[in-house]
């Protein structure tokens, strides 16, 4: 069988994107997803995303990590699928779609995707880190000299260590640039490596920085390995609402692969 796919990237977090409105894709084939994401034997990507029909909203997003398993929300993937929906002429400049963590509103302004993320009601603070769920689970921790930090090995220890164990977490290492700007490097669960950017990760960092009093700003700039993102939010009591992940999403190429 020959499969038509598109490749997208959002600040360097890259995805195989498939239009599955005609149910062309074998959704339970973990090995096929892992093969397509394999950088040596397949297309190569951090994850694979299916765009599917939805009974009431514009479309449905189904997200798989590079290891082949369906996973929780992907923020950069969410921005990329909005760009893909516009490319397919399913939407114009705004949309509501369903992902694993619920409905997401998004708008496109000057080619930049503004994706609303789920509300965050709980930020758990520990001595050296914070833990929160922004659609996916995130450990947030300051480190010194982030540019030379061993993200892969230190991230892996935390991801598989207590209290996360096998279910795991994504791990974000952070350095402050100024009051409203941070540099972030992320070890991603399901990729089991550092990625160039993680959308739910920078969202978690922005909220954690506000929650811990490191920033009073409600729009935070995040520098990642693959570019720059912004996260804005409104603090309402103990909750973070109207959380927006803002940044570019680009189609890289279209292809066909025998599988
Ligand atoms: N790259 C993503 C996060 C994808 C999910 C994550 N790997 C997990 O399984 O928790 C993003 O941009 O948010």
Consult the annotation and say whether 199 binds a ligand. yes
Q: What is the mean pLDDT of the chain?
A: 98
- Whether residue 166 is predicted with pLDDT greater than 90 in this model: the reply is no
259 in active site: no
Which tens digit of pLDDT belongs to each residue from 76-102? 999 999 999 999 999 999 999 999 999
> To 10 degrees, the CA torsion angle through 115, 213, 217, 205?
-30
Q: So what's the ipTM on this one?
A: 0.98
Which tens digit of pLDDT belongs to each residue from 227-255? 999 999 999 999 999 999 999 999 999 99
- Whether residue 1 is predicted with pLDDT greater than 90 in this model: the reply is no
Task: Tell whether ligand 1 has an atom less than 6 A from the beta carbon of residue 200.
Answer: yes
- pLDDT (0 to 100) of residue 118: 98
Q: Model-level pTM?
A: 0.98
- pLDDT (0 to 100) of residue 200: 99
The H or E element that residue 236 is part of is strand 227-236
**What is the distance of C-alpha 161 from the center of its chain?**
22
Contact criterion met (CB below 8 Å) for 183 and 175 = yes
Which tens digit of pLDDT belongs to each residue from 173-205? 999 999 999 999 999 999 999 999 999 999 999
Consult the annotation and say whether 128 binds a ligand. no
Domains and CATH numbers, the chain: 2-116+249-258 (3.10.310.10), 123-246 (3.10.310.10)
Determine phi and psi for 41, rounding to 5 degrees: -105, -15
Q: Ligand 1, residue 198: give the atom nearest the CA.
A: 12
- Most informative mutation of 77, 194, 227 for ligand 1 (most atoms within 8 A of CB): 77
Up-side HSE of residue 146: CA atoms within 13 Å toward CB? 19
Which tens digit of pLDDT belongs to each residue from 149-159? 999 999 999 99
Task: Tell whether ligand 1 has an atom less than 6 A from the beta carbon of residue 65.
Answer: yes
Strands 130-133 and 123-125 come out as antiparallel
Contact criterion met (CB below 8 Å) for 205 and 172 = yes
Please list, in sequence order, all residues whose beta carbon lies within 8 angstroms of the beta carbon of residue 60, skipping any fewer than 6 positions away: 51, 52, 53, 54, 97, 98, 99
- pLDDT (0 to 100) of residue 201: 99
Q: Please name which of 168, 113, 106, 105 lies closest in space to residue 136, comparing C-alpha atoms.
A: 168
Report percent pLDDT > 70 for the chain.
Answer: 100
- Euclidean distance between CA atoms 218 and 231, whole angstroms: 8
Q: If you average pLDDT over residues 215-234, what whole number do you get?
A: 98
Task: Tell whether ligand 1 has an atom less than 6 A from the beta carbon of residue 37.
Answer: no
CB atoms within 10 A of CB 113: 25
- Euclidean distance between CA atoms 117 and 240, whole angstroms: 10
How many angstroms separate the Cα of 129 from the Cα of each of 107, 124, 125, 142, 211?
32, 9, 6, 7, 12
Consult the annotation and say whether 179 binds a ligand. no
């Amino acid at each position: 069988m020959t499969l038509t796919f598109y490749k997208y990237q959002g600040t360097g977090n890259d995805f195989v994107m498939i239009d599955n409105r005609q149910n062309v894709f074998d959704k339970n084939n973990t090995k096929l997803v892992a093969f397509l994401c394999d950088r040596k034997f397949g297309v190569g990507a951090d994850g694979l995303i299916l765009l599917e029909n939805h009974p009431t909203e514009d479309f449905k997003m189904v997200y798989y990590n590079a290891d082949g398993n369906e996973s929780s929300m992907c923020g950069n993937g969410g921005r990329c699928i909005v760009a893909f929906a516009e490319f397919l002429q399913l939407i114009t400049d705004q949309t509501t779609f369903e992902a694993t963590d619920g409905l997401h509103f998004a708008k496109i302004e000057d080619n930049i995707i503004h994706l609303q993320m789920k509300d965050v009601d709980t930020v758990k603070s520990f001595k050296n880190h914070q833990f929160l769920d922004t659609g996916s689970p995130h450990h947030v921790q300051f480190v010194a000299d982030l540019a030379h930090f061993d993200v892969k090995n230190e991230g892996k220890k935390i991801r598989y260590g207590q209290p996360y164990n096998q279910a795991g977490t994504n791990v974000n290492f952070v350095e402050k640039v100024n009051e409203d700007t941070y540099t972030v490097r992320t070890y991603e669960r399901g990729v089991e490596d550092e990625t160039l950017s993680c959308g739910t990760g920078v969202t978690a960092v922005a909220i954690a920085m506000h929650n811990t009093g490191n920033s009073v700003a409600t729009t935070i700039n995040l520098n990642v390995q693959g570019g720059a993102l912004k996260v804005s939010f409104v603090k309402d009591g103990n909750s973070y609402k109207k959380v927006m992940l803002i940044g570019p999403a680009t189609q890289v190429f279209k292809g066909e692969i025998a599988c």
